[in-house]
Structure 1
Amino acid sequence: MKAVLGLDLGTSGLKGVILDERGQKLADARAGYPLRVPQPGWTEQDPRDWAKALREVLEALTSRLPQVEVVAIGLSGQMHGAVFLDREGEPILPAPLWNDQRTVEEARWIEEVIPRPELIRRTGNPAITGFQLPKIVWLKRKHPDLFRRVYKVLLPKDYLGFLLTGNWATEYSDASGTGAMAIRERLWDEELLRALGLAVSLLPDLGESHRVVGGLRPEWARAVGLRAGTPVVAGAGDNAAAAIGLGVSRYRPGTGSVSLGTSGVIFLPLEAPLPDPEGRIHLFCHADGAYHLLGVTLSAAGSLEWLRRIFPEVSLEELLGEAEKVPLGAQGLYFLPFLAGERSPYLEPALRGAWLGLSLVHERGHLVRAVLEGVALSLGVVYEVMRSLSQAEAFLVTGGGSASSLWLSLLGGALQVPLYRVVGEEGAARGAAILAMVGGGVYPDLEAALAATRLPEVAVTEVNPGVRQLLPGYEAWASILLERYRRS
């Protein structure tokens, strides 16, 4: 039996799946690694921990399915991180991650050198603290001795590709999230890099998501039980790969996706690169050869998990049950989910969350209800910005939060777009595997691969249309908070 293998290098662990030609999961495996927070606002991981997890996951998968022929390996992973490697390919320091905030000064400096409107025109985005380019500038400015040792800077998933093949390569979806790629031309922006005092030679080769970037090195093949030379496919950044796993692409116009994971993410495919002029939402390349808009609420299900830890004496199911008994609007209580700053549409890492409108009438159930409504409203605000560029006819909804029918009813009311819950979703690892089907020759192109592997969907029929009435109050409170934090 022929099969493909997909890998997704997440923030909490590496997930691997093996799929057959119809997209059915044959096996999966996972290995975790620590997250380091050496200073407030810093988040980083040791790439050597990723290498260890890679071996563990591959060994686990191949040991469970010894008779399956893996014809290709696809890659996905957390975007925006910076893996600084020397000429021998050894990490020079821990990799700052997508949610690392150490580069506030560098992001501001980049926009002094290249004004924000010009930067958005060239790259599709403003300078964001979490993006890779400000991290490179940070290392050069703050640690010049370390920077002089840097030979290549890779994105997290591309470091896995380097380990497996020995080649320095990336693809457009992940590269468009570095802040250094000319998004229309799909090339590294050499003029921009020169203005910042950086050489384009620091960055890897660019190409399509489904292309083969190399063959599996013999030493890795022997170690994990795969065939030497097995094609390794470039893959995609985690959001683009997850969309491919759901079938969200240019081949299905009008369909986007919403993820209620730790963060909340709205993904909308685009045929042409149309950035928001103010840069309030992201514009990236999609793995299907086109583009996509991405709006991010940093603390979605993360807000609910934070609340659950405050009340350890009750289960999550009990908390959600209490919230169901509370009327819409939580009797005047609003929750702003800015627990880790906020991306869309505020782009303010210093912003912090709040309950607003508290009174003596409010009990624990009101707090839970306000969190659910606040996340839904936050995503509603994000979509209001996005819809001026592209509108969805339907959203496929995924992530841990999608298990809550109450939350989905609130989200559907906030977005005012039909929602469909996806059955059997495996996230970005699935998308990486589907891209591997194309690179490995299982299907002639991505359209055929997506048609053969489409997942079943169930319509969400319970929608609370009254949620939209809460948006003006939410936005008014958010404006007050935003002004306060920008002054401080």
Structure 2
Amino acid sequence: MRFDVKNAIQSGKTVLGIELGSTRIKAVLLGEDNAPIASGSHDWENSYVNNIWTYSLEDIWKGIQDSYRKMAQEVKQQFGVTIQTVGAIGFSAMMHGYMTFDKDGELLVPFRTWRNNITEQSSKILTELFNFHIPQRWSIAHLYQAILNQEKHISDISFQTTLAGYIHWKLTGEKVLGVGEASGVFPIDLNTKNFNQTMINQFNEIIAPHNLSWKLEDILPKVLVAGENAGVLTEEGAKLLDVSGDLQAGIPLCPPEGDAGTGMVATNSVAKRTGNVSAGTSVFAMVVLEKELSKAYSEIDLVTTPTGNLVAMAHSNNCSSDLNAWVKLFDEFSKVMGMDVDVNKLYGTLFNLALQGDPDCGGLLAYGYLSGEHITHFEEGRPLFVRSSESNFNLANFMRVHLYTALGALKIGMDILLKQEAVELDVILGHGGLFKTKGVGQNIMAAALNVPVSVMETAGEGGAWGIALLASYMKNKSNNETLEEYLSHNVFSERAGTTVSPVSKDVEGFERFMKRYTNGLEIERAAVLNLK
């Protein structure tokens, strides 16, 4: 039974979540049952300016305002009311990157997004200094690289934050970050749920020769955990968000989070021994750990949940792009033969056929490396398909090998966690394009990871829903109710999903494929060197 939606809107019992992804900004308004009432989205793209991937401040605010306006317009059309207040608001955005401001609040250099791989020198130095893997996209790597490059602006830095933190600051005046987002800025101390003070001291020591006017703790935001109040919407913030002027000030905001954290919330995978995997153009898995890893791994990033629990992340640059290219080729073939086949039916038919293939793909081998792959140490990639004269070459095995290889690099990262570190997982929650054909992506993923894989009907709701749920948790939680309890009792208890358990012959087949995959990396390396 749905609640009285119109009354909930008028009385401010709704919550609003807005997430800025790399290609889309989305606003979602939730009712009292935490289900979406209305949404609005705005498409945008990054720009490559002076060798930097960036978004302008103008585009940021234009996109936020447009997505909010479209959401409010949908509310007006469906329910005949104008939004004047909501119960709580949350903002999230793509993690990492570099935004620095002077004492007057002016942006010092254009926003450098996570996509910029320009910090290799600082990444290596900081990883060695902290004995903790610092990826190139992390905010601290960007800051230290700017210092190493002796960029003019570094002496004027008064505040450093992320995209989500910047938006939150402008709307509330509060310089804060949720702990999950903060964990992609600088390493977190799991005991204090704050930036690691020992590492801050180490950083201050290595920058001391540069004689800067600030220390790292002076310019970083305050760290908050899920459920804490992160300020209220100011008069200026209300006008900035809703240009029509209808929205009132005083609405509480939850801590701003990153897209990794909101993905965990949206898939109900914030509890220990759970994880989620997002599989589309790229693929990444996030596993909530019970204890710290024994050492630092270049293949594994360590971040946290929005409540500050440790999360291991394995990220592969390449997943479904080459697979999609082959399906497109079959689509082209069908048209040449005079057959007009619906593309969704084509995907469904070919994907389901893959389940009929041999468990080890009949000896076939493929690499879907359209770009480089850091897990296997490739700066460039070449998509390849290879077979021997003894291979069982048929369409089922051809499709199966391209599904397997889409997860090949990810499996290397996950094997570090599941085999070397003996991390135990009860379930992985799957979302993304690879799971659209019912059952297929789940079966392949279960074979790859040897873990049950669940896909929920709400998996497509996305990060805007996830940050709205964090706003809802802040507003509606009962005393001492954890985020895990709130999500299980109030959000996911009646939401349907399907779970697929690993099949032993498929698990064994994937392991045989991975031996071939690992041994064949020399072929991929030769292709990179010789096929220009």
1:243–1:357 distance in 2 versus 1, CA, 3 Å? same
Contact 1:333 1:355 in 2 (8 A): no
2:457 aligned to 419, 423, 427, which one? 423
**409-418 vs 277-286, which deviates more?**
277-286
1-side partners of 2:149 and 2:414: how far apart?
38
Structure 2 letter corresponding to 1:395 = I
Cα-Cα RMSD:
3.1
- Residue number in structure 2 paired with 1:436: 471
1-side partners of 2:31 and 2:260: how far apart?
22
Between structure 1 and structure 2, the one with the greater Rg is: 2
Structure 1 letter corresponding to 2:31 = D
Contact 2:319 2:406 in 1 (8 A): yes
Contact 2:95 2:162 in 1 (8 A): yes
Contact 2:95 2:258 in 1 (8 A): yes
2-side partners of 1:255 and 1:353: how far apart?
34
- Residue number in structure 1 paired with 2:365: 334
1-side partners of 2:415 and 2:135: how far apart?
21
Structure 1 letter corresponding to 2:251 = T
Are 1:6 and 2:17 an aligned pair?
Answer: yes
Name the SS for the 1:266 alignment partner.
strand
1-side partners of 2:280 and 2:379: how far apart?
22
Name the SS for the 1:158 alignment partner.
helix
- Residue number in structure 2 paired with 1:256: 275
**237-246 vs 64-73, which deviates more?**
64-73
1:169 aligned to 168, 173, 176, which one? 176
Deviation per CA, 1:249-279: give whole Å up to 9, x if none.
23xx533222113321212112443364334
Are 1:25 and 2:14 an aligned pair?
Answer: no
Deviation per CA, 1:97-151: give whole Å up to 9, x if none.
2232111233234346x1xxx422xxxxx13222212211222333622333432
1:229 aligned to 236, 250, 256, which one? 250
Q: How big is the shift at 1:321?
A: 3.5
Contact 1:295 1:386 in 2 (8 A): no
1:469–1:359 distance in 2 versus 1, CA, 3 Å? closer
Segments of 5+ residues of structure 2 without an aligned counterpart are 1-7, 76-80, 334-342
Structure 1 letter corresponding to 2:432 = G
Q: How big is the shift at 1:484?
A: 9.8
Structure 2 letter corresponding to 1:402 = F
Are 1:457 and 2:493 an aligned pair?
Answer: no
- Residue number in structure 1 paired with 2:227: 210
Identical amino acids, percent of aligned pairs: 20
Deviation per CA, 1:187-238: give whole Å up to 9, x if none.
2532132134172122211221332222112133245132201111114221
Q: How big is the shift at 1:478?
A: 3.4
1:196–1:16 distance in 2 versus 1, CA, 3 Å? farther
1:54–1:452 distance in 2 versus 1, CA, 3 Å? same
Contact 1:273 1:283 in 2 (8 A): no
Name the SS for the 1:80 alignment partner.
coil
- Residue number in structure 2 paired with 1:190: 200
Segments of 5+ residues of structure 1 without an aligned counterpart are 121-125
Structure 2 letter corresponding to 1:401 = L
Q: How big is the shift at 1:483?
A: 10
TM-score with structure 2 length normalisation?
0.79
Contact 1:82 1:132 in 2 (8 A): yes
TM-score with structure 1 length normalisation?
0.86
1:154 aligned to 154, 158, 161, which one? 161
Q: How big is the shift at 1:282?
A: 1.7
2:426 aligned to 393, 396, 401, which one? 393
Q: How big is the shift at 1:352?
A: 2.3
Name the SS for the 1:234 alignment partner.
coil
Q: How big is the shift at 1:46?
A: 2.3
1-side partners of 2:62 and 2:40: how far apart?
14
Contact 1:14 1:31 in 2 (8 A): yes
**309-318 vs 446-455, which deviates more?**
309-318
Contact 1:47 1:83 in 2 (8 A): no
Name the SS for the 2:131 alignment partner.
helix
Structure 1 letter corresponding to 2:71 = L
Structure 2 letter corresponding to 1:452 = N
1:317–1:143 distance in 2 versus 1, CA, 3 Å? farther
Are 1:51 and 2:86 an aligned pair?
Answer: no
Q: How big is the shift at 1:323?
A: 5.9
1-side partners of 2:378 and 2:512: how far apart?
28
| Residues paired across the two proteins, number | 472
Name the SS for the 2:38 alignment partner.
strand
Name the SS for the 2:223 alignment partner.
coil
Contact 2:190 2:310 in 1 (8 A): no
Q: How big is the shift at 1:452?
A: 0.4
